[in-house]
A and B are shown apart, each in its own frame.
Chain A
Amino acid sequence: MDSGRLLRGVLRLLGAVLILAACVLLGQMLSRRLRERRLFLRGCHQGLLALMREIDYAASPMRRALPAAAEPAGPAAQLFLRAAELLAGSPGCTAGEAWLKALDEQPALADEDRRLLSLLSEGLGLSDAASQLKALELLRQRLEAAETGAAEQMARYGKIWRSLGWSMGAILILLLL
């Protein structure tokens, strides 16, 4: 009798620990997603700045400029590298098309970020340096605004998700026990 009660107690405790761990992990994951989105947008912003420098100062062709843009792009480096790879490896593929294909291969990207980044494909490489820089600067400003928004979201909701994880876990345990 006593041993059965003990076993039930241990199982309840184990269940409570698992519920709490799951809720905390969920909170951490949601918080990390906000942080990763911010870092990805910052990487894209840095990559775009490097792309602008390559066009402005070195007049590098796109197949050299895209890998160069990947260097400071941090978590977004793969996007620039993949676009360069597709451009070099697909005859008849333009830089804009390569960029769109590379974006499609990023499934974790939020729809609003995908829409924003797809703007880079429009007319990429099709005009003189001044026009390219003008178009890229407009996109850079929008990326900067998106990055600022993502940073605010992270500051506002990052802690909330983490705390919610703990709180939800505790509430669930209390309800279930």
Chain B
Amino acid sequence: MEKMIYRQILPYLPLELRQILLDSDEHRLVALEELRLRPLLPPLLRFSHDEAFLAADGSLTEHPQAGRPLSESELRKIVLLLSDSSFYAIEEELRRGYITLPGGHRAGLCGRAVLSGGAVKTLKDISAVNIRIARPIMGLAAPLLPRLVDANGRLLHTLIVSEPRGGKTTLLRDLTRVVSDGEGVRPLRMGVIDERSELAAMRGGIPQLPIGIRSDVMDGCPKAEGINMLLRSMGPEALVCDEIGRPEDAAAIMEAINGGVKMLCSAHGASIEEIISRPVLAQLIHQRAFERIVLLSRREGPGTLEWIRDGSLEAC
């Protein structure tokens, strides 16, 4: 079994369930993407192409009736372990609906929302937990890097586009790491605005995913505000934003570019038509904010490179 799951996921499970997983098919567990846990139902294991329920003997089955149901007390213990026995200390995480675990994994939580002034204050009576396994892929950016720098080896303003689960965040993270560490490019001081906590997966101020030695992270911060804050406070040479799309994002990005800061961004989109149909992206492309646009797809698996174009959408 993959050591990472031993070390980073199993300690969050009650002893009996942990033992069942240890007895389970190692080769399948290596490819585990999600572990879904609900009371009185068997744990559901999701892999890249299929899913299965966990039986009491550790076997994986398609039939829920053959699975081993999770007891309510087991779910309570899982929640306690995920919250480090400190449910009261993770109100911010509960408001967002997930807890970031060491290693960058995420435990999504469902339960009864407690409202305050119409907004979710926290969650109570947790009814479902979904542990999503993070697997940072290193070396994804290296083959693309020569096409994302100019003749002098300087990084170009880059927009990475893909459909959901197409690999844009993974590529953006690896690109951040490569530039920050100066692997094949002049190292730059990077400022990462990680609004959805997906790029760096910060936990207690420490990035759980590799983002490079010269990277500062503004975690959970709206992009436009984060760009301005980092510009004022950290003097970045390049800024990184995941999933841009709001009008205020465009204004902040243009301000950063005009200030001489390189931009590495990502956005949703499955084709050139889809990109230019989105007003904010169309505006940025029209203003020639980006010098390189990279389109990825899932055609041959996540992160399949479709094309790289220049700021005027010409092949390059």
Which residue numbers of A lie inside 8 Å of B, CB to CB? Answer: 55, 59-63, 65, 87, 91-92, 94-96, 98, 124-129, 131-132
Contact = CB atoms under 8 A, between A and B. Distances in A.
Interface of B: 11-15, 18, 76-77, 79-81, 83-89, 91, 114, 122, 124
Given A91-B11, A92-B18, A94-B77, A128 B91 contact: yes
Most A-side CB within 10 Å, residue of B14, B80, B122: B80
B79 A126 contact: yes
B15 A95 contact: no
A69 to B, nearest CB: 13
Given A94-B77, A94-B80, A127 B88 contact: yes
Given A92-B13, A95-B85, A129-B88, 10 more contacts: A62-B84, A87-B85, A92-B11, A94-B77, A125-B87, A126-B76, A126-B87, A128-B91, A128-B124, A131-B88
B113 to A, nearest CB: 12
Contact of A125 (B11, B15, B88, B114): B88
A127 B85 contact: no
Given A92-B11, A92-B15, A92-B18, A125 B124 contact: no
Nearest to B114: A128
B interface: dominant SS: helix
Contacts, number: 64
Nearest to B126: A126
B89 A61 contact: yes
23 contacts: A59-B89, A59-B91, A61-B86, A62-B85, A62-B89, A63-B85, A65-B86, A92-B11, A94-B81, A94-B85, A95-B80, A95-B85, A95-B86, A96-B85, A98-B85, A124-B85, A125-B86, A125-B87, A126-B85, A126-B87, A128-B87, A128-B88, A132-B88
A92 B86 contact: no
A57 to B, nearest CB: 12
A129 B81 CA distance: 17
A132 B85 CA distance: 12
A87 B85 CA distance: 9
Contacts of A92: 11-15, 18, 81
Nearest to A59: B89
Contacts of A125: 80, 83-88
Contacts of A96: 80, 85
Nearest to B86: A61
Contacts of B89: 55, 59-62
Nearest to B13: A92
B206 to A, nearest CB: 15
Contacts of B76: 126
Contacts of B81: 92, 94
